[in-house]
């Protein structure tokens, strides 16, 4: 494979970054709770970074198509390492808000630059789905260990120690990519035109439907990460077992990423995407039907299976539609994901402030809204098969 060392460095970076997400994501609401924030305000604070990232990701995507992505990645890495160290020292609410905004700026810049470079390398192989499926498998597999490690750390040490672990891991991961890019540099695209533009992808009906499905599906996942750790902790479940349950979901998700990449290359993934997205929300709500540990393990595994196709299938389909504008596509997809990461905790947090179980109704509503979008996508998918047009989105 051309630039194999560079591809492997991105794989390592993605793996370590997702390990950090796995450590911090499920435990961050617990950190905010330990500082004294109620559930509704926890949802609001988690949402601050998401809304900031959602707005900026569109801009950063186009920016990465105009300028050297290596410098953008290096610049953002400095902030990605510094911010956790500031979290370690913060005690006041206004400081947390400021750091959430900083998170919202650094995160999408780093993600768009890295993912755009990798997906361009994957296109050169002719097996983009397989390469990106492997990438998602590696990332998701490392996420598996995050909740367990996070749960272990906060069982043995003060919860703030998590942020020092985060800073150290991100520093090492960023250095790997920077060194690899020096030895095998990725040619930076430098296209003319304005930076502040809306992607032309948004003119396509099928792209809009796919992005809508991705938005609602990630809304469900973010609601799960916010609500379930607090819900289970209030029932007396240990942090370690909560981490184990999130791990079960992550294992099921990770195991399916490579097969989903292969199915995307073969043009057969969209039916699985739509069915899984529709089932995702009701399965999250089903966690409230019993407090039996075995039941929770089974439902978490099913949640992992249902949620597995969404991101990879939409990312590969939309990036194909984008052609050479990979940065714009990744910025748009990042914007959708970040918006969901903001809106999910906010809405579920507000609902749960009335009644904790009421917060779990949000995923059910989201999955119900997916049905109409899924019908449109499946009709288009069936027609392209009849026409022999493969899975390329038309109208680009």
pLDDT one-digit tens code per residue, 314-356: 888 887 777 667 777 888 888 888 888 778 777 877 787 777 7
Looking at residue 387, its pLDDT comes to: 61
- Residue whose tokens read 């890295």: 114
Looking at residue 216, its pLDDT comes to: 93
Looking at residue 395, its pLDDT comes to: 40
CA atoms within 13 A on the CB side of 57: 27
395, part of any domain: no
Q: Are 320 and 392 in contact (CB under 8 A)?
A: yes
108 has pLDDT over 80: yes
392, part of any domain: no
277, part of any domain: yes
Query: Which residues, in sequence order, are CB contacts of 200 under 8 Å at separation 6+?
Result: 396
CA distance 287 to 289: 6
CA distance 142 to 134: 12
What domain range is 265 assigned to?
4-387
Q: Are 220 and 363 in contact (CB under 8 A)?
A: yes
Most distant CA pair in the chain: distance in Å?
61
396, part of any domain: no
Q: Quick one: pLDDT band at residue 103, thresholds 50, 70, 90?
A: confident
Q: Quick one: pLDDT band at residue 385, thresholds 50, 70, 90?
A: low
- Residue whose tokens read 């370590």: 16
393, part of any domain: no
CA distance 157 to 234: 21
CA distance 134 to 139: 9
CA distance 35 to 211: 36
CA distance 344 to 240: 24
136, part of any domain: yes
Provide, rounded to the nearest whole percent, the portion of the chain with pLDDT above 70.
88
- Other CB atoms within a 10 A radius of the CB of residue 365 amount to 15
pLDDT one-digit tens code per residue, 8-38: 888 888 888 888 887 887 778 777 777 777 7
Q: Are 273 and 380 in contact (CB under 8 A)?
A: no
Q: Quick one: pLDDT band at residue 295, thresholds 50, 70, 90?
A: very high
Average pLDDT over residues 223-240: 82
Task: Name the token pair of 233.
Answer: 């902790």
Query: Which residues, in sequence order, are CB contacts of 14 under 8 Å at separation 6+?
Result: 114, 118, 135, 138, 139
Q: Which residue has the higher pLDDT, 14 or 143?
A: 14
394, part of any domain: no
Looking at the structure of the chain, the number of domains it has is 1
Range ranked top by mean pLDDT from 19-23, 49-53, 167-171: 167-171
Weakest-pLDDT range from 42-46, 76-80, 95-99, 229-233: 42-46
396 has pLDDT over 50: no
Range ranked top by mean pLDDT from 26-40, 100-114, 177-191, 377-391: 100-114
2 has pLDDT over 80: no
CA distance 358 to 227: 10
189 has pLDDT over 70: no
Average pLDDT over residues 293-316: 92
Q: What is each CA distance from 16 to 65, 72, 170, 287, 290, in whole angstroms? A: 25, 19, 7, 29, 34
- Residue whose tokens read 């006041």: 92
Average pLDDT over residues 353-360: 78
187 has pLDDT over 60: no
With 0-12 / 13-18 / 19 or more C-beta atoms within 10 angstroms meaning exposed / middle / buried, residue 351 is: buried
Query: Which residues, in sequence order, are CB contacts of 258 under 8 Å at separation 6+?
Result: 130, 133, 134, 136, 137
CATH number at residue 274: 1.20.1250.20
CA distance 395 to 202: 11
CA atoms within 13 A on the CB side of 30: 28
Weakest-pLDDT range from 161-175, 191-205, 326-340: 191-205
CA distance 297 to 34: 26
213 has pLDDT over 90: yes
Give the gyration radius of the chain's Cα atoms.
Answer: 20
263 has pLDDT over 60: yes
In the three-class reduction of DSSP (H, G, I as helix; E, B as strand; rest coil), residue 374 is classed as helix
Range ranked top by mean pLDDT from 28-42, 111-125, 266-280: 266-280
The 8 Å CB, 24+ separation contacts for 241-246 are 241/151, 241/293, 242/26, 242/147, 242/151, 243/26, 243/27, 243/147, 243/148, 243/149, 243/150, 243/151, 243/152, 244/147, 244/148, 244/151, 245/147, 245/296, 245/297, 245/300, 246/22, 246/26, 246/147, 246/300
Q: Which H or E run includes 303?
A: helix 293-307
296 has pLDDT over 90: yes
Give the CA-trace dihedral at 236, 254, 10, 52, to 10 degrees.
-50
77, part of any domain: yes
Average pLDDT over residues 271-275: 90
Average pLDDT of the chain?
A: 81
């Amino acid at each position: 494979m051309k630039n194999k060392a560079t591809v492997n460095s991105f794989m390592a970076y993605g793996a370590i970054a997702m390990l950090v997400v796995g450590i911090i994501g499920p435990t961050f609401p617990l950190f905010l709770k330990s500082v004294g924030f109620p559930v509704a305000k926890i949802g609001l604070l988690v949402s601050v970074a998401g809304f900031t990232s959602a707005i900026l990701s569109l801009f950063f995507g186009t920016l990465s198509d105009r300028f050297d992505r290596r410098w953008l990645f290096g610049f953002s890495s400095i902030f990605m390492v510094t911010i956790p160290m500031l979290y370690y020292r913060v005690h006041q609410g206004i400081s947390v808000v400021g750091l959430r905004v900083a998170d919202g700026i650094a995160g999408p810049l780093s993600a768009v630059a890295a993912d755009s470079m990798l997906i361009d390398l994957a296109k050169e192989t002719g097996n983009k789905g397989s390469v990106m499926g492997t990438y998602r498998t590696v990332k998701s597999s490392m996420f598996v260990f995050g909740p367990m490690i996070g749960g272990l750390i906060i069982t043995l040490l003060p919860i703030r120690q998590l942020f020092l672990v985060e800073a150290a891991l991100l520093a090492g991961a960023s250095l790997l990519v920077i060194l690899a890019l020096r030895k095998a540099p990725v040619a930076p695209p430098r296209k003319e035109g304005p930076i502040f533009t809306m992607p032309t992808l948004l003119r396509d009906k099928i792209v809009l439907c796919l992005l809508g499905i991705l938005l609602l599906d990630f809304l469900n996942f973010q609601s799960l990460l916010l609500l379930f750790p607090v819900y289970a902790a209030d029932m007396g479940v240990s942090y370690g077992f909560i981490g184990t349950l999130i791990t079960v979901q992550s294992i099921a998700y990770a195991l399916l990423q490579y097969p989903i990449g292969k199915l995307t290359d073969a043009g057969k993934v969209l039916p699985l995407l739509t069915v899984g997205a529709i089932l995702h929300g009701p399965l999250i709500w089903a966690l409230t039907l019993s407090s039996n540990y075995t039941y929770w393990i089974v439902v978490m595994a099913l949640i992992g299976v249902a949620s597995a196709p969404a991101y990879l299938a939409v990312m590969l389909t939309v990036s194909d539609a984008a052609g050479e504008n990979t940065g714009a596509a990744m910025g748009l997809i990042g914007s959708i994901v970040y918006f969901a990461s903001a809106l999910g905790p906010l809405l579920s947090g507000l609902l749960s402030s009335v009644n904790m179980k009421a917060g779990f109704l949000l995923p059910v509503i989201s999955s119900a809204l997916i049905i109409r979008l899924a019908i449109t996508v499946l009709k288009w998918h069936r027609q392209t098969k009849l026409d022999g047009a493969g899975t390329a989105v038309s109208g680009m």
